[in-house]
Structure formats: structure tokens, C-alpha cells
Amino acid sequence: MAEARRARGDGGRTGTVVRLPVRPRPAPAPRDLRLDFFRGLALWLIYLDHVPSNVLNVATLRNFGFSDAAEIFVFISGYTAALVYGRVMRERGVIIATARVLKRVWQLYVAFVFLFVVYLAQIAYVAQRFQNPLYAEEMNVLRFLDEPDVTLIQALLLRFKPANTDILPLYIVLMAAFPVVLWGLIKRPNLTLGVSLAVYAVARLMGWNFQGWPAEHMWVFNPLAWQFLFVFGSWCAIGGLDRLEPVLRSRIAVGVAAAFLLASLLVVLSWSVPALEGLVPDAVGELIYPISKTDLSLLRFLHFLALALVVAHFVPSDWSLLRARFAQPLVLCGQHSLEIFCLGVFLSFGAHLVLVEVSGRLLTHVLVSVGGIIAMVALAALMSWYQENEKRRGPDRAAGGSA
């Protein structure tokens, strides 16, 4: 909580940041604010989804279609990674770009270890203080703290993953492999995308996934499947988007995508809202179920594509509202995705504690959710302000961008 308080406490000074131009770069093309805006949105939704049994969960993306915020996050992360490191690779060569990517991997790894420690602290608290005979089973599992040697080593190997942090190990693996992927995308973009698709297809057909710990655990986000979305995002940034331009402009494509979104909305609602049960024939459910998140089911991927197509069609990159005041909080969060994601996981633990410890009423759900988002925005604003300050003092200190 200290970090959240600090973020809030110092936040007053950050008010000026809102008016500054966002992250001026010497880049030839202006930064596409849609990326920051929607990644910020994904981070907010991920935070809301991570507070267990949060009432506001009903308003998040996963209840309106097959895909959810994770797809947005991974796609945009791939896209921005290619933008940032692609430029470095073209201008300064493969070795420098690889070094930059690996530096980022190291940051992600440290962030993961930090969250793991926070998670352990919360578990230790519950395991020590909670004595409800109803949950003897659950408490028994918490005894894994009795073997710290195994647990700690498995966590450092990314095999034991605290709840809600699963996307970080995925991100680490994807980024670790990124120098090779990026090199391939710059040399032979379509071939690289094809290889990525082949890996996805084979992994899905053969049921390949990374092994977790304890032994029965598999990775929640299968890197062999999710890499395709990440590489697809990178491919779009490396010029693929220009090739897709006719599709983005096509009214027929947008119509089909919108129809698909509507159909998936009906299917998902008929599963979750008791009153709408029977709206969609059971045969449809039987045909498409299960829609695997772990292995990035094709339906989830298509749903994300449809969503992205419709959004890209109706929201131009120079949309004036993206620069409007109300969009700033989202844009700011999107620009500091790693820090805001970590803060989100951290806050979700805190929010969970408030909900079980203080009050589980609707108002508390709303306050905890809104409070968490405000803390995320405040930290993002603070970081932007700090970065601007550093840059003004000495251009040599402005390290590479976030991706």
C-alpha cells in the first residue's frame, strides 16, 4: 500500500503533466495515441478483473464477447515492441537492439519477482491468521510455504506463478525470443508471420504447453499459442498494417466483423444472464465449447481481430478525442504499461483484502475499483512528469522507450 499512497500523495504535483505534449520523440512518425489509449483501457480492465468477485467485473470486456483485455494487451505490446525496437534495429543494428530488448526482459523479470514477494506476504498472512475449519483443504495447500527452497526456486524459474501475474512470465518469454522474431520480421515479414502461425497451429494440435509447478500445473497463458498474437501485432507495426489497409477501409469487412461481435455478444450473454438462457441454441454452445484462454482459442483470436478491425475503422489515429482531457488518464496508463500492470496486481491484492476485511458491500466494490484506477493514473502521471524532467535536464539520460 505504501507505494499506492506515495503515488497518490505526490500526485498533486503531477497535475501539470496533463497539459504537456505526450512523450515527444525524435521519431519520424507521431506516436499513435490509439495504442496508448487502448492499452491503458486494457490495464484498467485487467485490474478490475483481478479483484476477485468484484461486482464491477460484469462491466469488463470478457462478459461481452469471447476475447478479453489480455488479447488487447498482448497485441499492443507486440505492436509497440516492434515500433520501438524495430527502429533501433534498423538504425543501430541487431546487437544494440538485442541488448535493449534483453534489458527490458530483465526489468520484466524483476517486476515479476517483486510481485511474487508481495503475493507471498499476503499468503503468509492468511496462512498464519485464518483458522476456519471449513477451509482445512485450502489451508493445507498454503503449507507450500513450509518448503521455501522448492517454492522460491520454482518461482525464480517462472514455473510457480502467483495468481494474476501469469501474463508477466508470458511477456518475459515473448520478449526474450523477440530479437530473433524482430530480425525475421524486418528481413522477411510474411515468412516470419507464417512460421509463427505454424508454431501456433502445431502447439494447439499437439497440446504443447510449458510445464508449470506443482507438476499438474501448465502455464495459464500458453506462450506457444499466445506468441502468434504478439508476432501478429509486431507484423502489423512493421508494415503489415499498410498491407491490411484495404481491409480496414472495406465496409464489407467491417460489417462482417460487427456481425461477428454481435453474435458473440449474444452467445456470451446467453451463458451468463439467466434470463437470456435459451436465446442461443445449445447446439451452438456444444459446437464451440470450450473456448480455451490458455491456448488462445481461434474464436478468441477472431473476436479480437473483429474488435480491432471495427475500432481501427471508426477511430482514426488522429482522432481529436484521443488528445482530449478525458482520454489523458488512459493514455498515461498505456504509456507506462509495465509499472501500471504491476501496480494493478499489487492494488488488486489490497482491494481483495479490503473487500474481505472491511466490507463486501456494493459501494465498497465501486470505491475500491475507482480508487485503484485513480492510483494507477496518479502513478502514470507522476512517471511522465519525472521522465519529462529528466529529459529536459540531459538528453543523454533519456533511456529507451517502453514497449
Partner 1 sequence: MIRGIWPLLIALTAACLAPGIAAAQSVPPVPAPGKSIADCTAPDRYLAPKIPLRRSAEALRAAHRLRVLVFSSVRMPAVTESVEAKRYPATLAQALTARFPGIEVSLTNKIEARAGIAESLQGLREELAAKPYDLVIWQLGSTDVLRGTDMHLFEMKLAGGIGEIRSRHADAIVMSMQYSPRTDFMFDAGPYLQYLRWTAKMEGAALFNRYDIMRYWVEDGLFDLSELQPGASIFEDVHRCVGQLLMRFIANGIAAPETQ
CA distance 154 to 214: 9
- DSSP helix/strand/coil, 296: coil
Q: Which of 76/355 has CB closer to partner 1?
A: 355
**Least gap, CB of 100 to partner 1 (angstroms):** 33
Q: Which of 107/122 has CB closer to partner 1?
A: 122
Q: Which residues pair with 211 in a beta bridge?
A: 218
CA distance 328 to 19: 9
Q: Which of 188/361 has CB closer to partner 1?
A: 361
CA distance 77 to 38: 11
Which positions touch partner 1 (CB under 8 A)? 5, 8-9, 11-12, 14-16, 18-19, 52-53, 122-123, 126, 129-138, 140-142, 162-164, 207, 212, 214, 216-218, 274, 282, 285-286, 289-290, 292-294, 348-349, 352, 354-361, 363-364, 367-368, 370-371, 374-375, 378, 381
**Least gap, CB of 394 to partner 1 (angstroms):** 25
Q: Which of 108/373 has CB closer to partner 1?
A: 373
**Least gap, CB of 28 to partner 1 (angstroms):** 30
CA distance 37 to 326: 11
Nearest to 381 by CA among 6, 4, 15, 2: 15
- DSSP helix/strand/coil, 196: helix
CA distance 328 to 80: 19
**Least gap, CB of 269 to partner 1 (angstroms):** 15
DSSP sequence for 332-350 = HHHHTHHHHHHHHHHHHHH
Nearest to 182 by CA among 99, 69, 254: 99
**Least gap, CB of 69 to partner 1 (angstroms):** 15
**Least gap, CB of 222 to partner 1 (angstroms):** 11
CA distance 52 to 352: 6
CA distance 365 to 386: 32
**Least gap, CB of 148 to partner 1 (angstroms):** 17
Q: Which of 34/62 has CB closer to partner 1?
A: 62
Q: Which of 323/361 has CB closer to partner 1?
A: 361
**Least gap, CB of 352 to partner 1 (angstroms):** 5
Q: Which of 239/371 has CB closer to partner 1?
A: 371
**Least gap, CB of 52 to partner 1 (angstroms):** 4
Q: Which of 14/192 has CB closer to partner 1?
A: 14
Asked if 84 and 401 touch (Cβ cutoff 8 Å), the reply is yes
Q: Which residues pair with 59 in a beta bridge?
A: none
**Least gap, CB of 333 to partner 1 (angstroms):** 14
In the chain the first and final C-alpha atoms are separated, in Å, by 26
Asked if 116 and 165 touch (Cβ cutoff 8 Å), the reply is yes
Place of cell 500458453: 222
User: Which amino acid is present at 119?
Assistant: Y
Q: Which of 164/196 has CB closer to partner 1?
A: 164
Q: Which residues pair with 218 in a beta bridge?
A: 211
Cβ burial of 75 (10 Å; 0-12, 13-18, 19+) is buried
Nearest to 170 by CA among 103, 83, 78: 78
Q: Which of 19/251 has CB closer to partner 1?
A: 19
